[in-house]
C-alpha cells in the first residue's frame, strides 16, 4: 500500500535571461496541471506549457513552452501535483516513526510525516 499526497504551488517569477524552459527541483512528483500567467501593465495572459518532463536522477522537472520569454517577463507559475509518501528513505516527503521514551502512556501518535530540503543558491 502506498500513501500519496496532493498539492499545489504558485511561484512568482521574473525572467532574468530570455528562456523557454523553467527547471524546478522535484523528487518523485507527478505534475497534472501547469499554468503560467504573464503579468503586464495591460493585464494577465495565460500561456500553456508545451511539455513537462522529469529527470529522476537529477531530481528535477522541466517545463517547456512553445515560445521564448524575453528578459523582464513577470508572471506566476501555478502547478498542481501529486506524489508518493516515501517510507524507505529520508528524502522528499516521507513517513517517520519514533519511540516514546518519556514513560508516558498517553495516546500520542508515534509517527509523523516530514520533509527535508536545502535551499538553492541564488
Residue at grid coordinates 518532463: 53
Per-residue pLDDT of the chain (122 residues; tens, 9 = 90+): 578 889 999 999 999 999 999 999 888 889 999 999 999 999 999 999 999 999 988 989 999 999 999 999 999 999 999 988 776 666 667 677 776 666 555 556 667 676 766 666 65
- pTM for the complete prediction? 0.76
For residue 96, what are the contacts with CB-CB under 8 A and spacing of at least 6? 90, 111, 112, 113, 114
Domains assigned to the chain? 4-84 (2.60.40.1730)
DSSP 8-class letter at 48: -
Do residues 30 and 83 touch, judged by C-beta distance below 8 A? yes
* CA diameter of the chain: 64
Amino acid at each position: 500500500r502506498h500513501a500519496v499526497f496532493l498539492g499545489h504551488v504558485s511561484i512568482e517569477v521574473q525572467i532574468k535571461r530570455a528562456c523557454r524552459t523553467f527547471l524546478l527541483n522535484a523528487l518523485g512528483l507527478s505534475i497534472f496541471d501547469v499554468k503560467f500567467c504573464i503579468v503586464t501593465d495591460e493585464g494577465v495572459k495565460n500561456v500553456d506549457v508545451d511539455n513537462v518532463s522529469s529527470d529522476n536522477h537529477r531530481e528535477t522537472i522541466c517545463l517547456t513552452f512553445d515560445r521564448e520569454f524575453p528578459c523582464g517577463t513577470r508572471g506566476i507559475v501555478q502547478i498542481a501535483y501529486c506524489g508518493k509518501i516515501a517510507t524507505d528513505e529520508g528524502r522528499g516527503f516521507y513517513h517517520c516513526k519514533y519511540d516514546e521514551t518519556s514513560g508516558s502512556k498517553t495516546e500520542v501518535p508515534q509517527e509523523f510525516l516530514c520533509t527535508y530540503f536545502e535551499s538553492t543558491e541564488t
